[in-house]
Homo-oligomer: A and B are copies of this chain.
Amino acid sequence: MKYLHTMVRVTDIEASLRFYRDALGLEVLSRRDNEAGQFTLVFLAAPGDRTAQVELTYNWPKNGAAETYTGGRNFGHLAYAVDDIYATCQRLMDHGVVISRPPRDGRMAFVRSPDQVSVELLQAGQALAPAEPWVSMPNVGAW
């Protein structure tokens, strides 16, 4: 038995790729645009851990209207270990992502995808020394 992936639905595939690929740093392993089914599937994974994937499901707009998705409390978050949590958070900010829970402790941060999927980032190994601007950065919203 083996974990394969966690699937999330996305309302805007390009915005989602900017978040999961460009800002978070996952790699796109495959993309399938299914004309007949009117959907796109994108599989991504951490560069160092390709076997555990996240699947983005993008249902194409019908009659020009994109689907919209609400969140639910039964799902919590996706969690990734990162080599440098400050560098990861800076890259997310450079791409316009709000750091919901900044890594004030050099160890843990939370952000949200464009569809409000919560993503936890954990510093691999020892926590980094607390440092600005993170130490003074307040929480924003929920995560």
Contacts and interface: CB of A to CB of B under 8 A. Distances in A.
Interface of A: 1-10, 25-26, 45-49, 51-55, 57, 67, 69-83, 113, 115-117, 120, 122, 124
A59 to B, nearest CB: 10
A74 B117 contact: yes
Chain A interface SS verdict (over half): strand
A73 to B, nearest CB: 4
Contacts of A53: 3
A80 B2 contact: yes
A6 B6 contact: yes
Contact of A46 (B3, B71, B72, B113): B3
Closest 6 CB pairs of A and B: A72-B72, A7-B76, A75-B75, A3-B52, A1-B46, A71-B72
A25 B46 CA distance: 26
Contacts of A57: 76
